[in-house]
Structure 1
């Protein structure tokens, strides 16, 4: 496998010195590179990405739980979703110039893969996983909090980001020049204990389903699910 031209420069940008530099190397291998170079790189960064996603979720949830003792589960979930969404992680990866270091297949590289938000968010999560394996939870926690310092500060300064319905509407207007629709598909239970189920329709497709004790709660949960689907694309 090709090696990093200047691994110490990258480690300096990350603020982490690896005991096992191969873990950092592995975190930078996109699946397209493996497809074109199976003998040079037998495994992509997808396993590290899986691990990093879990570590990231834990670190952010723990930070929000401590920072916002008066917020309920719904509000904390919205804050966490904002901080771990694709575009947020891609911004953090961009600041560390991780795209420059990605090992990509020729087609992916020529097609703009180094700046693709999905690739950047995935390599960020893979690096989190690599830090965790190399040094443990506390250094991984420090890396996450340091690298997301700007986004955490924005949440502290401005309070909660837009609610899921507002965020979904902004995203739909930007991508599709349309607004999402919410369709009530089921109502269950007696009058004093109703449960509503709503689907979020985006660009003619059902992308989210949510249930709750009110139509508003069900719509927010459907919007949150639709956001996760859109932001993963």
Structure 2
């Protein structure tokens, strides 16, 4: 964990807090879900403020798209890979057997949980510095002239261009309750006979993840 702390440029006073941030719910009650919930909120606030300050002449709609681009699951997954979190995740036996270390959603949640843990221990200013450092490449990558359409919109426009059947999104199952709920969504491309399933903490996010994978397949 020393290498991880060097990479995020933050040294935990309470190492148990970092361990909790890396602990999946499959282990038991003392897991990272509450920290992930907190980190997700803090990440959104920090990125929103940074975008607000960087792009003073841009409206709310575009700022929202920029924010979604920066904090999306794919970005969190890339950061998790840079931090090599897969080797540090603490998982229950079931998740270990099913290859949970390699699940991007678990890694992404751990990134947010780490941010939540830093906020609890050191406050807003410190976690803001960590976030802006970790996400710098993605923030700098934003071109204010880009539309940054979401993946569902891109997929629909591509299919419409070739006059193909639009994607069908179906909620397959819901597990857990309240803020701990997980939603599994299936997306079918009828003409191509392709379908994918993705799990996320909101239906909208799961749909976006499905659309992103299908765009890559096409």
- Superposed CA RMSD: 3.0
Contact 2:21 2:32 in 1 (8 A): yes
1:93 Cα deviation from its structure 2 partner = 1.1
Q: Distance in 1 between matches of 2:89 and 2:32?
A: 10
- Segments of structure 1 that go 5 or more residues without pairing to the other structure are 1-6, 35-41, 183-200, 205-224
* 2:100 matches 1:113: yes
The residue aligned with 1:17 is 11
* 2:2 matches 1:32: no
* 2:11 matches 1:8: no
Give the secondary structure class of the aligned counterpart of 2:19: helix
What is the CA deviation profile of residues 55-96 of structure 1, one whole-angstrom value per residue up to 9, with x for unaligned ones?
001001001101111111110111111111111111111110
Q: Distance in 2 between matches of 1:27 and 1:79?
A: 27
1:228 to 205, 208, 212: 205
1:9 Cα deviation from its structure 2 partner = 2.1
Larger radius of gyration: 1
Tell me how many residue pairs correspond in the alignment: 178
Q: Distance in 2 between matches of 1:170 and 1:226?
A: 21
1:74 to 61, 68, 76: 61
* TM-score, L = length of structure 1: 0.67
The residue aligned with 2:183 is none
1:179 Cα deviation from its structure 2 partner = 4.0
1:107 Cα deviation from its structure 2 partner = 2.2
Q: Distance in 2 between matches of 1:118 and 1:158?
A: 30
Contact 1:87 1:231 in 2 (8 A): no
Contact 2:152 2:208 in 1 (8 A): no
The residue aligned with 2:85 is 98
The residue aligned with 2:30 is 43
